[in-house]
Structure 1
Amino acid sequence: MRSTTATFFLSLFGLILLLTSCGQKREPINIGGNTWLGYQPYYLAKEEFGCSACPTHDSYVGGQAFRINMMPATTSTLRLFGTGELDGALLTLDEAIGFQSRTQIPICVAQILSYSDGADAILAMPDFDPDRPFVIGNEQSALGGFKTARGIEALKWIDKPFEQRVVHPASHVDALLSGEVNVVVTYEPYVSKLVERGAMVLFSSRDMPGEILDVLVVRQDIARRHEDSLIWLGSSFWYHGLSMMKEREESLKFIAARTGADLSDLQTALSGIHFPSWREAQAFAEQDYARILGVLNHYLLSYQHLTVPGNIPLCENIIYADPAPAISFYD
């Protein structure tokens, strides 16, 4: 009798534990990024739909699988990612490398979002002579330093008589046109504004395809716990937002209103960004990611932006998964 009673209570206790664990809901995945155009598909889809169509929403607190936050600057994104207030971050790969190198937090790439395809460039006026002393103007950032280094190497300027000067991006156009600098390392919309004024593109991101790369990185424990939601997020949700941005003029107007950018500048910048399909991103991850990670680490270490290499693997179970089926957001 005592044995039967003990067995009954043990079985009852096990059932309670099972029901409790089944009833536990996951906290939403918290993702943040700055106002860059390449991240806007997430913000657009979030504004219009939230996660009502997300197939995993019932397993999350509040019925929301994720929260997507547009931050005022990359510094805010990195700070909150570092403290754990963000589970994932929308960053350029060089920014992610710098973050991982400094913090040693284990992160992985959950999605390849886009890469610059002409939106970043090195320009000079037609009378530029690289054999005479010249000044290169660039922004004070790891990415600015990387673009400058790649250009110097490609244009064979290593032994040329130049110096570098920090110029704020908003001043890039005036600095080159006024002669304050002879060469400027910049990005859209400043590239197009300078070309309109007669500047020549000497080198651009088209000459280093995939090296200026936008990614979604997440903490590795988050990738393991939320694999299903991250696959859906990076396929169904992202590509719907991307379609909105490319096909609806009101979406670009919405972005312009929220970021304070000029509508024509957004359209110009969009033409210099390549957004790969899910399958194209998978091929890129398999064939090019390791090489580009190595290239970025090499330059960032060489120019003392890093002290140790950044180690960022792919979240392979997410990157190489089949895309989630398209979902009607209007059901």
Structure 2
Amino acid sequence: MKRLWLLLTLCWLTACGGQPATKVVIAINPWPGYELLYLAQQQGYFAEEGLQLELVQVASLSDAQRAYLAGGVDGFTSTLIEAVQVAMLGGKPLKIALLADYSAGADLIVAPERFTSITQLKGRTLGCEVSSLGIYILARALMANGMTLDDVKVINVEQGDGNRQLAAGTIDAMVTYPPYSIALLKHEGMQQLFSTREIPGEVLDIVSVSENLLRRAPDFPAKLQNVWQKVLEYHMRHPEEANALMARREGISAAEFNASLNGLALLTREAQQQLLADRERLSGMLDSVCDTLTRIQAVTGTCDKLPYLFIGGASQ
């Protein structure tokens, strides 16, 4: 038995092919979809694919992005928004290795019940992560209601501080997502004013890695997608067990975790491949995100310089 364990360990470390497996460090933020990566780790799927992958927990999307920009990790979980920002900010060149899910209602704007519409937030102070998805969601919510960021006062509020600042009245609304949004909505008098259900297909959750890593491990995206498919299938076979495991890590109940998953559209390997084959659509998504970010001055530069970030395409 001891010899078998040693053999399996050596196989994992060398990917069973004589070459040491490349260690990959990914910064990961709280989000129901990304919990599937931890579940995959628990089930041994990374080892099965010969991946030596370390998941480093950070507190927010902004933190994951900062970890990558600082050079401390090989990749990070985020939305397409953060990946475009990294490319525009001159971070290490990256490619998107996994299309995890679409946010289909999970990203929210939460406010007290005295506000019954987005338009009533005119002139108010709103909190969001200004260096990442939060400012994009806020800008799109305002646009959808005939307003711009000039119509409100925006301050940077990290996800972990949204609860306190809403309670103190420092801000009148907060852009948030699970599990943070679950805690906020538990407070009496708090409600959802806007969600990504109103902007379908715009917020794509992804895993990006450096091009340098891909030169060292060109098969990493394919292996990661195999892992993702395995864990999706495991979740479909054992939903109650899987949700309980993932909910425990996020600090919420299994029922709350299951409800948060209803705001996501998880992408199977087949769905990812179909989307990756549609270069025109993906280029349009990149252009749309970049145009919005430059319009609200979240990034500087011109979008015609933005490289094609998806696997399988050359730079534009």
Q: TM-score range by the shorter chain?
A: 0.7 to 0.9
Q: Give the match's secondary structure for 2:33.
A: helix
Q: Which SS does the other structure have where 1:210 is aligned?
A: coil
Structure 1 position 242, deviation (Å): 2.6
Residue 253 of structure 1, aligned match among 241, 244, 248 = 244
Label 1:260 to 1:200 Cα distance change in 2 as closer, same or farther (>3 A). Answer: closer
Does residue 282 (structure 1) correspond to residue 273 (structure 2)? The answer is: yes
Q: Deviations over 1:93-128 (max 9, x none)?
A: 222222222234221112211121001123553664
Out of 150, 153, 176, the residue aligned to residue 140 of structure 2 is 150
Q: Describe the shift of the 1:313–1:197 C-alpha distance in structure 2 as closer, same or farther (beyond 3 A).
A: same
Residues 194 and 84 from structure 1, CA distance in 2 versus in 1: closer, same or farther, beyond 3 angstroms? Answer: closer
SS of the equivalent of 2:96 reads strand
Aligned to 2:310: 314
SS of match in other structure, 1:288: helix
| Equivalent residues of 1:117, 1:272 under 8 A apart | yes
Q: Equivalent residue of 2:36, what SS?
A: helix
| 1:142-171 deviations in Å (ceiling 9; x for gaps) | 211111111111111249964334455456
Aligned match of 2:287: 294
Q: Is the 8 A contact 1:41 1:244 kept in 2?
A: no
Report the CA distance between 1:29 and its aligned residue.
4.2
Q: TM-score, normalised by structure 1?
A: 0.71
> In the alignment, which of 40, 65, 85 is matched to residue 98 of structure 1?
85
Identity of aligned residues (%): 24
Counterpart check, 1:53 vs 2:48 = yes
Aligned to 1:138: 127
Once the two structures are TM-superposed, the CA of residue 173 in structure 1 deviates from its matched residue by: 6.1
Q: Which sections of structure 2, spanning at least 5 residues, go unmatched?
A: 1-16
Measured after TM superposition, the shift of residue 314 of structure 1 is 1.3
Specify the code of the residue in structure 1 equivalent to 2:312: E
Q: TM-score normalized by structure 2?
A: 0.73
Whichever residue aligns with residue 294 of structure 1, its letter is: D
Per-residue CA distance 1:240-259 (angstroms, 9 max, x = gap): 22334453333333333334
**Residues 137/223 of structure 1: CA separation in 2 closer, same or farther (3 Å cut):** same
CA distance in 2, matches of 1:316, 1:224: 14
Amino acid at match of 2:198: D
Q: Are residues 1:69 and 2:55 paired?
A: yes
Question: CA contact under 8 A between 2:45 and 2:230: conserved in structure 1?
Answer: no
- One-letter code of the match for 1:112? L
Partner of 1:41: 36
Query: Distance between the aligned counterparts of 1:67 and 1:104, measured in 2?
Result: 22
Indicate which of 195, 210, 223 corresponds to 1:204. 195
Aligned to 1:86: 73
Tell me, in whole angstroms, the C-alpha distance in 1 between the residues paired with 2:121 and 2:204. Answer: 34
- Greater radius of gyration (CA): 1
Matching of residue 304 in structure 1 with residue 290 in structure 2: no
